[in-house]
Amino acid sequence: MTQNAPPGDRIAKVLSRAGIASRREAERMIESGRVRVNGKLIDSAALNVTAQDKIVVDGKPVGEPEPPRIWLYHKPAGLVTTERDERDRDTVFDALPDDMPRVMSVGRLDINSEGLLLLTNDGGVKRRLELPSTGWLRRYRVRIKGSASEAKLDQLREGITVEGINYQPMVVTFDRQQGANAWLTISIREGKNREIRRVMEAIGTTVNRLIRVSYGPFQLGDLKAGDVEEVKRRVVRDQLGLEGEKPQPSRRRKPPRPAK
């Protein structure tokens, strides 16, 4: 005789839906003793909880799950896309406005890259947008030192292997030469770690500026560096195939003023 599964959802899934962290990050938080359920400290993610259970993370009660939300953030160069940095460098999350809810980044931009970074309060949305199967095109404006011939760029258009890593064919346009530099527009679907920088090095050029201008249907547009703009709920529903929500107006937030 088989026993019925316990009611509710796994604690890590609940924390993810509440915008606390991704499931994997939530599991690490549990293992490090940062989560209590009904007053009891838990050390294992193998626990189901229901709406009646009281969950506390780092001493703060976890509220009802919010509907999935997405923000556009214009990441400046010089920030790392991580919540905590081992080298104590400034992070994207340190720079967000104080009234932002807890959010996670969809993928990353390295410290020297800038432009569009998607933020979400929902771990499920984060995973969905990061999946290679989603196949959303990510478009970048790329400045390189020197120039690059069409023959070299054709290697990227056909797909290239660098140090044993296969990179899918890219959409590459040579835009213009500007003094000692040249500007390209490059579109990719995979978004592997430092993908554009590595393939450009492989064809003998160096990237000295990298700006992401779009991620799937989401555009950087005229969003200024450091600013955040929430995507309209209707657009989130339509793009992700969600149901239910009443649309809300988008809001643009400027970064907080530095303390004097």
Task: Report residue 39 CA to chain centroid gap.
Answer: 33
C-beta of residue 49 within 8 angstroms of C-beta of residue 14: yes
Q: Which residues pair with 142 in a beta bridge?
A: 184, 210
- Per-position b or e across 87-107, b if 16+ CB within 10 A of its CB: eeeebbbebbeeebeebbbbe
Residue matched to tokens 């992070």? 91
User: How many CB atoms within 10 Å of residue 175?
Assistant: 12
Which residues are within 8 A (CB) of 159 and not within 5 positions of it... i.e. 6 or more apart?
A: 166, 167, 168, 169
The Cα–Cα gap between 96 and 105 comes to 12
> C-alpha distances in angstroms, 105 versus 19, 56, 75, 119, 254?
11, 23, 11, 5, 18
Catalytic residue among 110, 154, 175, 227: 110
Q: Kindly state the tokens that stand for 113.
A: 């890259």
Catalytic site residue 110?
yes
> Would you state the structure tokens that stand for residue 219, as one six-digit string?
């555009």
DSSP 134: G
Which two tokens mark 64?
Answer: 């009802």
**56 contact partners, CB below 8 Å, separation of at least 6:** 35, 36, 37, 62
Q: Supply the residues annotated as catalytic.
A: 110
